[in-house]
Amino acid sequence: MQLMNKIKEKLVAFDLDGTLIDSAKDFHSCLNILVKKHNINQISYEDVRERVSEGSYSLIRYAFDSHEKEQVEDLREELLNLYQENCLEKTTIFEGAEDLINFLNETQINWCIVTNKPRRFAEKIVNHFFPSLERDMLFCPDEFIEPKPSPKGPLLACHETKCKPSSSFFIGDHHIDILAGNKADMQTIAVDYGYRKKDDYIEDWGANYIVSDLKEIINLI
């Protein structure tokens, strides 16, 4: 009974892009379709990959070398429309994700996804790759307004699942994920294979744990 109570109090919350799924190739393809349309030089895969976790605004500002608000917003909407059509073309799940999710399901440990990706994209991708996730266990900025590094998303996930933050984990590939988890008083796990710039050192993020494979998390939780 005591073990079951501890399991019920525990939530494992994941970031999506760069943590569970590798979506960089689809973003790269869509961005280069867009820059070609506007007669801009093609963008390298490496430059896209290290900016994916920073979101579509970052990709547009970099590709078009622009900070003009209206132009960036218009181009961003073009990019997102392209991405919505092509978000499952080259995206894959990271090694270890399936094993970890199966473990959580078999042991009846609560799990969810807290992403800065709008629901119209996230839901399509999650339904494809993680059909066992209940719809109300996908938390997007559409609902909690403030994106990570705000702790509102992780805290909302804990509240909805009636799980204690101190007994729960937040897993991500970017320093904003770890910051959000730490602010929510959750235990944080950084994955070192995700999207970050070369001079962004994962050891400086303040995560409780760093892993190279999602299967390693089974022994931590």
Amino acid 215: pLDDT: 96
The one catalytic residue in 15, 22, 173, 177 is 15
Whether 6 shows a pLDDT value over 70: the answer reads no
Residue 3 confidence (pLDDT) = 47
Phi-psi region of 188 (alpha: psi -120 to 50; beta: other; left: phi over 0): beta
Residue 158: pLDDT over 80: yes
Q: With H, G, I as helix, E, B as strand and everything else as coil, classify residue 185.
A: coil
Q: Is 5 helix (H, G, I), strand (E, B) or coil?
A: helix
Q: Looking at the DSSP assignment, which residues form a beta bridge with residue 12?
A: 111, 169
Question: 54: pLDDT confidence band, cut at 50, 70 and 90?
Answer: confident
Q: Is 15 one of the annotated active-site residues of the chain?
A: yes
What would the two tokens of residue 127 be?
A: 């339904």
How many residues are present in the chain? Answer: 221
Place of tokens 């994941």: 14
Higher pLDDT, 5 or 88: 88
Mean pLDDT of 144-150: 89
The answer to whether residue 200 is catalytic is no
Catalytic site residue from 17, 22, 26, 177 = 17
Contact 207, 170 (CB under 8 A): no
Tell me the pLDDT tens digit for each residue of 173-189: 999 999 999 999 999 99
How far apart CA 63 and CA 71 sit, in angstroms, is 12
What percentage of the chain has pLDDT greater than the value 90? 90
pLDDT tens-digit profile of 180-221?
Answer: 999 999 999 999 999 998 899 999 999 999 999 999 999 999
